[in-house]
Amino acid sequence: MSAWRLVEDPPPPVGGGASGGERGGEPRRPRPSTRRLLVVAATVLLTLVGAGGLAAARTGSFFAERPEGCAKPDRSMQLYAVELPKDGNQVRLGYGLTPQTASYPGPTIEMTEGECLAITVHNQVPAATLEQLRTDPAHPLGVSLHVHGVKYTQLSDGTVQSGSFVPPGESRTYTWFAQQRNKKTGAPGTAGHWWYHDHVVGGPHGTQGLGAGLFGGLVVRRPGDPKPDRTYTVVFGDRQSINLRRGAAADTCDAQQPQPGPTCLVARKGEKVEFIVVGIGNDMHTFHLHGHAWADNRTGVLPNGEPFADLVPTIDNKPLGPGDSFGVTVTAGDSVGPGHWMLHCHMQFHSDGGMSTMLHVLDENGNMPPGHDHSHAHPAGGTAAGTTTGADTAAGQHQHK
């Protein structure tokens, strides 16, 4: 019997009617704490004495709670920021739909254009931990939620400067608007692959929060977009890391019962697998997947019959800078079959340093065919069967160098 069997489908991404998000509930309006009011007051004062202050005061238009077009949130959800077990001596933090399920990357959040989402962040990270990560004793303690791509106002910016962060033990609601394309105004819409992260832990740019694990993927779809069977968020970061892990640690798939998760990329042949690829930190990277290629457009999939389809290049490698994000959708094992397909940064000293993991493609029944129970680095083409060693299989760890 194969050691590889997909026993259970992964939980779907949050949103779009999937479990996890709470529908229909009117979110709690943020109750500003005294501390926050002081920060806001100080910011207003600074704004007023600034060059643009008088204009802002005259219009009185600063600090709107919600973006235009988002009168009332369509959906609300809870997001917990917690401390996770250390990785060596590195502090690890994560976002989770519950405190118990927090991880890095955090849960993938899914929205549809036109939707307005209220996310209440509960900061359960101990103050002592935030103090330890602080690079300046004058910097306030807290976590935040800052998002790329979609619309939000200053109150949902997730920065210290706008007072939109969450002190330890407190909660705050952030409002995101997946603005639609508008041909009249020229608004391009917000459909795409984005990410969210802390912007406060340690310093004014959340560098320590990001480095500790407070980040996750966001996908905004248009009605009618192809829906993938699985979505994985892969975050390429400093020190040759994928989702803050390197080498064998980046692939924790259990050889007996691989459970899809942040560090176990697994799919059945024929499934549409979507990757939200994000760059964090200070390094440039390239995202490369063996045996698979994708259309370099918004969805990664070419719609049938599009006359401009030939204008969209098909690629299997894409550059990624800090803060960048893009989506990739492939059909697992299409034409190439099941196997262990390398996913890695193609900057050679990064991949050599451990920036490499695997997409484990099982057959249609969820089994890894005999001869594929072990995943040494396969040559390009990936059809060579690896040899099985008991030790590697038992450990569920796969060495790729």
Q: Please give the C-alpha separations between residue 330 and each of 163, 236, 258, in angstroms, as whole numbers.
A: 41, 19, 20
The residues, ordered by sequence, that sit 6+ positions from 254 with a Cβ below 8 Å of its Cβ are 264, 396
Confirm or reject binding of residue 345 to Cu ion (CB under 5 A).
yes
Smallest gap, in angstroms, from Cβ of residue 347 to Cu ion? 4
Query: Binding segment for Cu ion among 3-11, 13-21, 211-219, 279-287 (CB under 5 A)?
Result: 279-287
**Identity of residue 295:** A
Query: Binding segment for Cu ion among 27-35, 158-166, 169-177, 341-349 (CB under 5 A)?
Result: 341-349
Q: What is the DSSP string of 297-357?
A: SSSSSPPTT-TTGGGSPEESEEEE-TT-EEEEEEETTTTT-SEEEEEEE-SHHHHHTT-EE
Nearest residue (CB) to Cu ion, 269 versus 350: 350
Nearest residue (CB) to Cu ion, 272 versus 285: 285
Three-state DSSP string of 245-274: ECHHHHCCCCCCCCCCECCEEEEECCCEEE
Draw the binding track, 292-331, toward Cu ion (x: CB under 5 A; -: no contact).
----------------------------------------
In 3D, which of 68, 207, 49 has the Cα closest to residue 135?
207
φ and ψ of 305, to 5 deg: 80, 5
Nearest residue (CB) to Cu ion, 21 versus 279: 279
Nearest residue (CB) to Cu ion, 285 versus 292: 285
The footprint of Cu ion on this chain (CB under 5 A) covers a number of residues equal to: 4
Strands 116-123, 75-87: pairing is parallel
Nearest residue (CB) to Cu ion, 207 versus 241: 241
Confirm or reject binding of residue 347 to Cu ion (CB under 5 A).
yes
Query: Binding segment for Cu ion among 170-178, 220-228, 285-293, 391-399 (CB under 5 A)?
Result: 285-293
Strands 317-320, 314-315: pairing is unpaired
Smallest gap, in angstroms, from Cβ of residue 150 to Cu ion? 27
Tokens matching residue 146: 């800052």
Q: Which of 122, 268, 350, 374 binds Cu ion (CB under 5 A)?
A: 350
Smallest gap, in angstroms, from Cβ of residue 36 to Cu ion? 38
Query: Binding segment for Cu ion among 36-44, 98-106, 326-334, 350-358 (CB under 5 A)?
Result: 350-358
Query: Binding segment for Cu ion among 12-20, 35-43, 113-121, 280-288 (CB under 5 A)?
Result: 280-288
CA end-to-end distance (rounded Å), the chain: 28
Nearest residue (CB) to Cu ion, 220 versus 289: 289
Compute CA 269 distance to the chain's CA centroid, rounded to the nearest angstrom. 24
φ and ψ of 163, to 5 deg: 70, 15
By CB under 5 A, the residues from 66 to 125 that bind Cu ion are none
Q: Which of 285, 292, 398, 400 binds Cu ion (CB under 5 A)?
A: 285
Name the site residues for Cu ion (rule: CB under 5 A): 285, 345, 347, 350
